[in-house]
Amino acid sequence: MACWAILPAAAAQGQEVRAEQVRQSISSAVTWLKRDLTRAMEAGRENRAEWTYIAPDNWPGAEALAALALLNAGVATDDPVVVQALDRLAQTRDTVTYNISLKIAALAHADPVRYRDAIHTAAKKLARMQLNNGMWTYSSQDIRASVGGGDNSNTQFALYGLHEAARVGAPIEQNVWRRAAAHWERTQRPDGGWTYSPRHQQPAGYGSMTAAGVASLLICGESLNRSLEGPYTDGACARCGRYATNPRLAAGLKWLGRNFDARRNPNHHTYVYYWLYGVERVGMLSGLKQFGTHDWYREGAAYLVRAQRGDGSWNGSVVDTSFALLFLAKGRRPVLINKLLWADERQANLDRHDCENLTAFLGDRLGEPVAWQLIGLDADVEEWLGAPILYFQGHEFPPFTPSQRESIRKFVDNGGTLLAEACCSRPEFREGFERFAREVFPDEPLAPIDGGHPVWSVLFRVEPRAFPLMGIDVGCRTSVFYLPNDLSCLWEQVDLSHPLTEPALRLGGNIAAYATGRDALPDKLDTVKLLPQADDDETAAPPATAALRVAWLRHSGDWRTDSHALPRLAEYLRQNAGVDVVSQPAVLRADDPALLDHPIAYMTGHGAFRFTTTELDGLRRYLTRGGFLFADACCGREAFDRSFRKTAAELIPGRSLIELPTDHPLIRGEPGFDMRVVQYRDADVLPSENRRPPRLEAVTLEGRVCVVYSPEGFTCGLEDHACLKCRGLRTEDARKLVSNMVLYALSR
């Protein structure tokens, strides 16, 4: 395996590309490819005028490539075009390397159970077709006729097919991988690249074949290294992390970083789409977001969107269109896990294939196939937030600097989920993490996660006694998961004969499902914007303009359940209600004289709280002098609800909370939005009850509403984070309803 550094990304070549452009490009390509594949299959393999640019012997491979591209683009396996192509492939004779390899890949992607026999038979034949030098040539007939000594294009496709077969359970002898790896290492050019054939004595490699070499070494390394760690015993592997650095692989990756160009096949004048197909494979296999300073997917997608024809194809070619579609569709898989390279791989990436195997195990169980990637410690927090999970592991605990610890805290405060693991259950990591947790999360304790937590059942049922699991709750959700015992070695080896492997994969899947809230992941091309959060600095300076600044009341309970609730509300009010609101709220206690400078105040919480006598007096003075308070029991928590009702009764004697009728201007939206019917989060109600009037209660004083309270909760909706157990209003309705509260207060 290589050791590589994560470098800052350079500006993309050419114009920027948007996620919607890529989605439209994929849709157009799917339409064209289905139409072209249908015409070709109807014409038959003996009378195919449309595919004259493809050698007839390779027509089955072209069909397989097109079917594979369609499947990766999200076309269903029961789509008539795909069904016809797959059934034809299953009956295809296994004689041509390209055809066999792509046939295996398409069948394995579509239904490895249904096509098991065809996959295993084809893989067995393909392995037998390997030459003694570790390469493959075009066909079994060429082998019998002793024609040629193989080439790197056939060889990379053969290894791809065998890799896909092994992934779904086909047995492949280790010697196949050893011979292939030896070939690629032996034939690398002096500059670190590869060419089409070792018989060609070019001193310099070129793009498509260098990508083929790197992808092939990654595949061989994964298969050969899986058993290196040794048996998993008592929460550890004796040889964990003892991967030998592969200098050939490292040199190939450096070549890609130096020579990357999404617009042309480097050092070659043709086959740009074949080159980009190879780029996607290296990127997905390695987990690298960048080659050198190049964001390979962003730059490649920008080029492909511009190069696509109006009919949806690239060059009117089924092969070029399939390669381009594979790049766009596979490469844009949303990133589930950013694995943090906090040091070099010998310390920070002890289990090189743990995330790869976990995401493969998950498949599309989170709604669509997902990816993972390596990310640098000094990347921006916005880059970390490109995935819901930031994961790090080690035998020793990382020596994070104060600024790096601050970035990790900011990642969590912005809705990210931190996953840390003591690889091989090492006490050095455990001790370091416990210190880290106390210092970075001083107000949120690290505690064991009990058996009633959704993480034990959200996707799979996992016995809580199987693995110790600890967590830190930040606001409404568990935002930090800590594994004091090893799971990554089990993910790494994927030895399903070990009784703990499947539970370990299932627990990893549950952590992922909890972190995402089972919601759709952001598009790979989306950018993340950090918003200000509620600062507990009680001496914060007032805004420099006349804009509204909401006061966030600090009390004795968990007053800051969702730190971005008010900043996100402020953004919504500016964009949708024309109210100039300062993003940063003023955090104040109820007895602070500065409270009188803020016409609107807000409070929330989960648990019980109490105001002191002076705080009650201060809040009473604020309300009687025209102030307005909106509040909620976050997640509908009963402990906060009881405390708030007691407080409301003490605030203004004789003025208790009363339920607002649905025709009240605040609910009817005068001014604002008509909110007489709202939607609730799935955790709150049955689907049949999901639309109903909001339940709001109020305290009135001299004919005006001075306190509005939601016992059901709207704060989680304002925050809009992934949370399985959060209750209350959905995001859009929460923001509209609370906007009505603000508009009502300002208009009275």
Its pTM stands at 0.85
pLDDT at residue 46, as a whole number: 58
- Which pair of tokens denotes residue 591? 């007895």
**How far apart are alpha carbons 684 and 679 in whole angstroms?**
10
DSSP 8-state class, residue 330: H
Q: Specify the DSSP class assigned to residue 136.
A: B
Domains and their CATH numbers in the chain: 19-227+251-332 (1.50.10.20), 354-516 (3.40.50.12140), 551-747 (3.40.50.12140)
* Three-class DSSP category at 470: strand
| pLDDT band of 453, cuts 50, 70, 90 | very high
- At 273, the amino acid letter reads Y
Q: Looking at residues 179-196, what average pLDDT do you find?
A: 96
pLDDT of residue 529: 74
Q: Give the range with max mean pLDDT: 309-313, 346-350, 526-530.
A: 309-313
pLDDT at 12: 43
Q: Give the per-residue pLDDT at 563.
A: 86
Whether the predicted pLDDT of 13 surpasses 50:
no
pLDDT bucket at 47, cuts 50 / 70 / 90: low
pLDDT at residue 746 is higher than 60: yes
What is the Cα–Cα distance from 130 to 118, expressed in whole angstroms?
19
**Which amino acid belongs to residue 77?**
T
**Percent of the chain predicted with pLDDT > 70:** 92
DSSP symbols for 334-394: PEEEEEEESS-HHHH-SSTTHHHHHHHHHTTTTSS--EEEEEETTS-HHHHTTSSEEEEEE
Of 354, 356, 413, 349, give the one whose Cα is nearest residue 376. 349
Residues 548, 537: Cα–Cα separation, whole Å: 18
| Burial of 639: CB neighbours in 10 Å, binned 0-12, 13-18, 19+ | middle
Alpha carbon distance 496, 426 (integer Å): 24
Question: SS3 sequence, 12-38?
Answer: CCCCCCCHHHHHHHHHHHHHHHHHHHH
pLDDT digits (tens, 9 = 90+) for 569-603: 999 999 999 999 998 899 999 999 999 999 999 99
What the block records as the tokens of 523 is 């598009």
Q: Length of the chain in residues, anyone?
A: 748
Q: What distance in Å separates the CA atoms of residue 431 and residue 305, rounded to the nearest whole number?
A: 50
Quick: pLDDT tens for 666-706: 999 999 999 999 998 765 444 555 678 999 999 999 889 99
What does each C-alpha distance from 101 to 53, 413, 722 come to in angstroms? 20, 46, 40
Residue 497 has pLDDT above 80, yes or no: yes
Q: What is the DSSP letter of 543?
A: P
Q: 534 or 382: which carries more pLDDT confidence?
A: 382
Q: With pLDDT > 90 as the criterion, what percentage of the chain qualifies?
A: 78
pLDDT given at position 681: 79
Which residues, at least 6 apart from 704, have a Cβ–Cβ distance to it below 8 Å?
748
Q: What is the pLDDT of residue 544?
A: 47
| Cβ atoms of residues 221 and 214 within 8 Å | no
Task: Give residue 242's pLDDT band: very low, low, confident or very high (50, 70, 90).
Answer: confident
CA-nearest of 709, 734, 726 to 641 is 709
Q: Residues 385, 403: contact at Cβ < 8 Å?
A: no
Cα–Cα dist 228/465, whole Å: 28
Tell me, what's the pLDDT at 148?
57
pLDDT value at residue 4:
44
Token pair, residue 400, equals 């994070």
Per-residue pLDDT band at 519 (split at 50, 70, 90):
confident
Range in 45-54, 366-375, 491-500, 592-601 the model is least confident about: 45-54
Q: Indicate whether 538 pLDDT > 70.
A: no
Q: What angle do CA 85, 90, 91 make, to 5 degrees?
A: 100
Q: How confident is the model at residue 91 (pLDDT cuts 50, 70, 90)?
A: very high
Q: How confident is the model at residue 229 (pLDDT cuts 50, 70, 90)?
A: confident
Banded model confidence at residue 526, pLDDT cuts 50, 70, 90: confident
The single-letter code of the amino acid at 652 is I
534 or 336, which is more confident?
336
pLDDT in tens, 613-639: 999 999 999 999 999 999 999 999 999
* Cβ neighbours, 10 Å, residue 422: 28
- Per the DSSP assignment, residues forming a β-bridge with 726 are none
321 — pLDDT class (breaks 50, 70, 90): very high
User: Is residue 20 within 8 Å of residue 306, measured between CB atoms?
Assistant: no
Instruction: Name residue 300's amino acid.
Output: G
CA 413 – CA 719 distance, rounded (Å) = 11
- The region of weakest confidence among 63-77, 141-155, 413-427, 546-560 is 141-155
Q: How far apart are the first and last CA of the chain?
A: 68
Q: Are 343 and 398 within 8 A, CB to CB?
A: yes
Average per-residue pLDDT for the chain: 91
Confidence check: pLDDT of 45 > 70: no
CA distance 75 to 589: 56
The average pLDDT across 157-168 equals 97
Per-residue confidence (pLDDT) for residue 52, from 0 to 100: 65
pLDDT at 10: 46
Mean pLDDT of the region 316-326 = 97
Give me the phi and psi of 664, to 5 degrees please: -65, 140
Q: Is the peptide bond before 671 cis (omega within 30 degrees of 0)?
A: yes
CA distance 687 to 693: 15
pLDDT for 540 equals 47
pLDDT of 467: 93
pLDDT of residue 244 exceeding 90, the answer is no
